């Protein structure tokens, strides 16, 4: 995955990353999936705080 250069692109990147993980590991537990997406957004997006990453995950990777 590439670095996310703009915060505005993070929600779309989170959705794409989530779908790629699900395609590779369809039976991954939802909690583990969301944690992976959260870490991806936090570490790959310039100038995003942990709280902002959590907010993106809340919108894109809802725990059910």
> In the chain, what are the domain boundaries?
7-60
CA–CA separation, 45 vs 31, rounded Å? 21
- Residue-wise pLDDT tens digits, 28-46: 999 999 999 999 999 999 8
Res 17: pLDDT: 93
Q: Which residues of the chain have pLDDT under 70?
A: 1, 62-64
CA–CA separation, 59 vs 10, rounded Å? 11
3-state DSSP assignment of residue 23: helix
The pTM for the full model equals 0.83
Q: How many residues does the chain have?
A: 64
Residues 6+ apart with CB under 8 A from 36: 17, 21
Q: Which residue has the tokens 């990147």?
A: 13
């Amino acid at each position: 995955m590439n670095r996310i250069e703009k915060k505005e692109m993070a929600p779309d990147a989170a959705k794409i990353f989530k779908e790629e993980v699900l395609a590779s590991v369809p039976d991954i537990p939802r909690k583990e999936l969301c944690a992976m997406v959260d870490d991806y957004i936090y570490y790959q997006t310039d100038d995003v705080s942990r709280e902002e990453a959590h907010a993106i995950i809340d919108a894109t990777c809802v725990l059910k």
